[in-house]
Chain A
């Protein structure tokens, strides 16, 4: 079967650093993406990792370990506007399989 696991909820304060983990089990794997979704909005793309290692884009970084079937999204210098749901998604040939999402709440 295919499954992705991520925590359902994470809380943090403004200015802090938070890490959202994602573990996956899939029959085929081409890469791991991360998406952000604000309440009432559409998902927006954040990052993609095909190879092991860290990808950095501004305050956000994403990491992948293919041998461990594991990745994470790191958000630094948290801001109130970062309060949203975050989804990891596995690229499996031409399909995209999403996790159930992690709700991040940032407090002042």
Chain B
């Protein structure tokens, strides 16, 4: 089944404790992206990647890191999480930059206390 998977789905952590949210797609998509969703603010793009070893900042990259060492994986890293990073996070992928349909993962609800 073609899909985007994220792990964990739920995470409660404390300020400053490094964490990684994994994202994997099995559709051989080139383009991958991370979004955060907050009430009243819609989805905001954190980082995106157009292919392996190519990543770029979205609109809200502060406090986050990403890597794209393999085509299928695009982990999101929070080196020192803070409470303002409490949010619902979505990973998404599309075939390439010219194909506009993005497939979203199920989401990761993160709480930082």
Contacts and interface: CB of A to CB of B under 8 A. Distances in A.
Interface of A: 31, 33, 35, 41-45, 48, 87, 89, 91, 94-101
A97 B104 contact: no
Contact of B100 (A42, A48, A99, A100): A48
Contact of A100 (B41, B103, B107): B41
9 contacts: A41-B106, A42-B106, A94-B31, A94-B50, A96-B33, A96-B102, A97-B59, A98-B43, A101-B42
A91 B90 contact: no
Interface SS of B by simple majority: strand
Contacts, number: 52
B90 A42 contact: yes
A43 B91 CA distance: 11
Contacts of A101: 42
Given A45-B100, A45-B101, A96-B102, 19 more contacts: A33-B100, A35-B102, A41-B106, A42-B104, A43-B43, A43-B102, A44-B104, A45-B103, A48-B101, A94-B56, A94-B97, A95-B45, A95-B58, A97-B59, A98-B43, A98-B44, A99-B42, A100-B41, A101-B42
B104 A94 contact: no
Contacts of A43: 43, 90, 92, 102, 104
> Size band of the B side of the interface?
20 to 34
Contacts of A44: 104
B74 interface: no
Interface SS of A by simple majority: strand
Given A31-B100, A43-B90, A45-B102, A95 B50 contact: no
A92 B90 CA distance: 19
A16 to B, nearest CB: 25
Given A42-B106, A100-B41, A101-B42, A94 B100 contact: no
B107 A87 contact: no
Interface string B52-65: 00001011000000
